[in-house]
Amino acid sequence: PLLTVYLDAIEGGRVEKVLVEDGATVTAGQPLAVLSNAELQLSVLARQTEVTQQVNSMRSQELALSQTRLQNERALLEAELGLRKAERQYAREQPLAAKGFVSGQAFRDTSDNLDYQRHRRDVLKRAQSSDERLQTGQLAQLRASADSMESGLGIARANLDALNLRAPVSGQLSSFSIQVGQSMARGERIGQIDSPGRNKLIAGIDEFYLGRVQPGQIATAESGGKTWKLKVSNIYPQVKNGQFEVDLVFLDGEPQGLQRGQSVQVRL
């Protein structure tokens, strides 16, 4: 075949169903077999639980941040109100104290209260800013962690879905001989899909001609009473048993009914 796509088990498992037979013509995405892997399924469930816990933790953190923000805003409003009251009282007592209508001790208490209210407001503002910064940073870390876990969960789910073996391309299925109950290891070769109706020739040429063969070189073949034109597509310079191999592809169609292993005489 001109194009061969090999089928490997992405994840290992036990064969539960075989949906097609060897030699069948399949289409891209068609289910071929179903595997089961209890360990992988448990792993995906565990990851899903971790992600759910992380998301719940993030939401709890968001709620705590919102509540703390409201508490800080309420405390700051109370501090602003206390400061305005202290400022008004100070403004009332200052001219009276200058004329002796308010005792010096009472006016000092009013002045001290004004300073306290100012400091209290400034402290609350700094505390609010610090809490906001710290909790926002924690929330960002939780979100990044949740996103990372979601990504890992997506990969785990994809691996779980890979237990449903599907044809990656359309073509003829071959070397597909798995059986129900068979255990497949990860990466194990389970078959291949050959391109339908498109073939290439593999020619063995004496090593004497290695320097005279070039990619793109034209060849002709006789088959079915017709002459078919080909060209050299690949050269494999490794010499085995005194020969090297080349791939030849048909240029203007190809003979009908060509089979794997069939011999065709070619003139290069």
**Mind listing the pLDDT tens digit for each residue in 2-21?**
888 999 988 888 999 999 99
Please state, rounded to an integer, the average pLDDT across all residues of the chain: 87
Round to whole Å and give the CA distance between 39 and 183: 14
Round to whole Å and give the CA distance between 155 and 160: 9
Chain centroid offset of residue 225 CA: 54
**Mind listing the pLDDT tens digit for each residue in 78-88?**
999 999 999 99
Contact 76, 125 (CB under 8 A): yes
Q: Average of pLDDT values for 172-187?
A: 89
Percentage of the chain beyond pLDDT 70 is 100
Q: How confident is the model at residue 44 (pLDDT cuts 50, 70, 90)?
A: confident
String of DSSP letters for 147-192: HHHHHHHHHHHHHHHTTEEE-SS-EEEES----TT-EE-TT-EEEE
Q: Average of pLDDT values for 94-103?
A: 86
DSSP bridge partners of 193:
5, 173
Round to whole Å and give the CA distance between 110 and 95: 13
Is the confidence at residue 145, as pLDDT, over 80?
A: no
3-state DSSP of 10-31: CCCEEEEEECCCCCCEECCCCE
Q: What is the pLDDT of residue 131?
A: 81
Q: How confident is the model at residue 193 (pLDDT cuts 50, 70, 90)?
A: very high
